[in-house]
């Protein structure tokens, strides 16, 4: 499998090189040269396959022969090591819980898969790779956990000061070993811009790669749980609509990839907070990125989502074709809080702010009588403890995964500019 840059000014490259480089030399993100649908027989009989077998079938064409099948299956077994249940919330709405992994966020899947791929590629190489990643919340913790102790890999995580939750901050600043946290005086987009600039800075002698969803090995495995949800639902529900809380748009883009592989999804809804670049684009066809705004659903505080260009590519950059299969709506913090209350009062289910935005997207889009809506619950409510307990009459129990880090001491280096980042990387 070859990959090409969506800026179309860099040569094609292999899966291995795309993983190690993260971003093409022309600053474009990589996209697979071809997408071959899975067999109809496999889709129709998906209930007969284990989650590991489903994940292998979904990803193998994108890896090709660059990782042996036995090793790829081993990586998948280590990646898909927890449950992905669909939990009923309303009569025709369920939530796909993606928070049962080690850091209690959906990004555990992509982070672990990428870490294991990079470790494999670096196994016979004495040179070290530096994974440089920007986070608006959950990516940092998932990447820190996924890469902890990985041979030949150092991880540098940039996060916006004061704009991640306390628990998210503990997860990315307390592990030590090969993990370093940089606390940036700015917003997520500043962190992401610094990372992209560093990749193209020829004066930096380190080998850099990214663990954000711009990296194909972080992005593509997110297809898995759309297949897992379909496996649970397809015998009862034929017309499934997914609503995905969306920030950098990697998650929903992976869902659309699953659809291109043959997964029967009727429609996708990208639900955003007030960072409404994509909802506005669907209205007027003009893509106008803007500085991100801080919200209670901070993992979605992205004003210029990197993966939207991939979504456009999947629909041949045709706006009308895109709109036939994809909708996007924006919601305020007040609407989010009210929806958290509504969900809890109606069903007793405790949704985090991101899940509540996903639920709002389904309601805004509307469901026909024969349709079943699934919103993604991308993080455990404990990750946003203050907001949840301020909004709902509940006391959230602290899971074991969080108890391990909650009392650890934060260690982070403060930076403000790209010059600060470059100085740190040149040490």
Listing DSSP states for 97-156 in one string gives E---STTSBTHHHHHHHHHHHHHHHTTT--S-EEEEEE-SSHHHHHHHHHHTT-TTEEEE
Confirm if 96 and 229 have CB atoms less than 8 A apart. Answer: yes
Taking the C-alpha atoms of residue 269 and residue 359, their distance in angstroms, rounded to an integer, is 10
Confirm if 241 and 372 have CB atoms less than 8 A apart. Answer: yes
SS3 19: helix
Among this protein's residues, is 107 annotated catalytic?
A: yes
Nearest to 274 by CA among 287, 251, 292: 292
Both tokens assigned to 316: 């041949």
Both tokens assigned to 167: 């628990």
Both tokens assigned to 302: 């992205």
Backbone angles phi, psi at 408, to 5 degrees: -75, 155
Both tokens assigned to 127: 């040179």
Helix or strand holding residue 160 (H, E): strand 153-160
Q: How many CB atoms lie within 10 A of CB 109?
A: 27
Confirm if 141 and 103 have CB atoms less than 8 A apart. Answer: yes
Helix ranges (DSSP H) in 156-187 = 166-173
How buried is residue 69: exposed, middle or buried, by Cβ count under 10 Å (0-12/13-18/19+)? exposed
Taking the C-alpha atoms of residue 35 and residue 254, their distance in angstroms, rounded to an integer, is 12
Both tokens assigned to 43: 């889709």
SS3 177: coil
Catalytic hit among 16, 107, 238, 260? 107
Confirm if 84 and 51 have CB atoms less than 8 A apart. Answer: yes
377-386: b (≥16 Cβ within 10 Å) or e: bbbbbbbbbe
Taking the C-alpha atoms of residue 59 and residue 53, their distance in angstroms, rounded to an integer, is 10
Active site residues per annotation: 107
């Amino acid at each position: 499998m070859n990959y090409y840059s969506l800026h179309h000014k860099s040569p094609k490259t292999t899966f291995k090189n795309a993983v190690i480089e993260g971003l093409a030399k022309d600053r474009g993100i990589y996209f697979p040269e071809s997408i071959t649908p899975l067999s109809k027989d496999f889709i129709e009989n998906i209930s007969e396959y284990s989650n590991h077998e489903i994940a292998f079938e979904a990803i193998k064409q994108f890896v090709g022969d660059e990782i042996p099948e036995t090793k790829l299956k081993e990586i998948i077994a280590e990646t898909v090591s927890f449950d992905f249940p669909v939990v009923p919330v309303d009569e025709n709405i369920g939530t796909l819980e993606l928070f049962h992994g080690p850091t209690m966020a959906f990004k555990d899947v992509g982070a672990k898969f990428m870490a294991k791929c990079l470790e494999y590629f670096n196994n016979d190489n004495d040179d070290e790779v530096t994974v440089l990643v920007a986070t608006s919340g959950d990516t940092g913790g998932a990447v820190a956990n996924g890469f902890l102790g990985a041979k030949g890999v150092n991880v540098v995580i940039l996060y916006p000061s004061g704009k991640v939750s306390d628990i998210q901050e503990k997860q990315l600043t307390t592990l030590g070993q090969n993990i370093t946290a940089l606390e940036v005086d700015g917003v997520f987009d500043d962190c992401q811009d610094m990372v992209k600039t560093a990749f193209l800075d020829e004066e930096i002698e380190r080998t850099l790669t990214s663990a954000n969803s711009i990296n194909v090995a972080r992005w593509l495995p997110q297809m898995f749980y759309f297949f897992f949800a379909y496996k649970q639902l397809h015998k009862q529900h034929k017309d499934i609509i997914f609503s995905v809380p969306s920030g950098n748009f990697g998650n929903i883009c992976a869902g659309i990839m699953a659809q291109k592989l043959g997964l029967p999804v009727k429609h996708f809804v990208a639900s955003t907070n007030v960072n409404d670049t994509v909802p506005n684009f669907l209205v007027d066809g003009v893509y106008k990125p803007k500085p991100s705004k801080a919200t209670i659903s901070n993992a979605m505080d992205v004003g210029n989502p990197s993966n939207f260009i991939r979504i456009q590519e999947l629909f041949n950059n045709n706006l009308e074709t895109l709109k036939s299969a994809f909708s996007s709506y924006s919601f305020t913090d007040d609407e989010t809080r009210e929806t958290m209350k509504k969900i809890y009062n109606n069903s007793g289910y405790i949704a985090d702010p991101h899940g509540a935005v996903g639920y709002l997207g389904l309601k805004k889009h509307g469901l026909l009588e024969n349709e079943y809506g699934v919103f993604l619950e991308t993080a455990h409510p404990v990750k946003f403890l203050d907001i949840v307990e301020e909004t709902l009459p509940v006391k959230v129990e602290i899971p074991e995964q969080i108890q391990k880090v909650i009392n650890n001491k934060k260690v982070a280096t403060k930076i403000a500019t790209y010059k600060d980042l470059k100085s740190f990387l040149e040490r």
